[in-house]
Amino acid sequence: MQRATDRHAACQRTATVNMDPFPILRAGAFVTSLAGVVHSSPSITLSPTQYTTTRISFSHVRTRYGPHFERALRMSDGAFHALVVIMRPRLPRRGLAAEVRTALALRCMGGGSYVDMCAAFGVHSASVYRAVWDVVDAVNSAAALALDFQVEDCTRRAAYAARFKAQRNSLFGKVIGALEGSAVQQEQPLATDVTCVADYYSRKGFYALNVQANFDADYKFRWMS
């Protein structure tokens, strides 16, 4: 046992004596030189995905979408500008205009890719996600956008039906709302958090929350579950 210990100690001393320090010194010199180059020319470290954005006005964005504007934002010109009027006092004044910020959020919620939105609006991806949360916060704080279906009020029901009749010129009367549903994808819930995990698995092949909403003839949401 003593011989093995002595042999191991001798090997360590030999390795220490024979270790060439120059590779380490050369590596240190290389790192120092590289740091100097990066400091003097930081642009060489930019990744291919980093680019200089060129922000454009909302009128240019509107022109780019052309006849597809309403499809992209899921609402008409009139409804969009009416929404911006409500949102403007609640959106940040610095940075993107209220119209651009609102359009970014609506396009994102309508299924748009942040890659395409960055190209269309001339903004960075961080601006896209920041706009979404700014608009969500503004919607939640706007009393004019609160859900107020009041289906138990016969006067309100009659007003809803009259508006549908006038807007749609429908043969059907007493239509007080249009119902639509959506499956909001989520992670698989834990068995400790829900009664039955399988209840959250949708027919579309993923776990989701079943959201249903009712809106009036002016496309304003009145009720949601």
Same domain? 140 vs 82? yes
What does the pLDDT look like over 17-73, one tens digit per residue? 444 544 444 544 544 454 444 445 544 444 444 444 556 788 888 888 888 888 888
In a domain, 4, yes or no: no
In a domain, 117, yes or no: yes
What average pLDDT does the structure give for the chain?
A: 79
Pull the structure tokens for residue 141.
Answer: 């704080």
Same domain? 123 vs 177? no
Q: Which one of 145, 178, 213 terminates a domain?
A: 145
Whether residue 3 has pLDDT greater than 80: no
Q: Which one of 125, 145, 165 terminates a domain?
A: 145
In a domain, 83, yes or no: yes
Q: What is the pTM of this model?
A: 0.60
Rounded Cα gap, residues 157 and 177, in angstroms: 9
Q: Which domain holds residue 103?
A: 58-145
Q: How many domains does the chain have?
A: 2
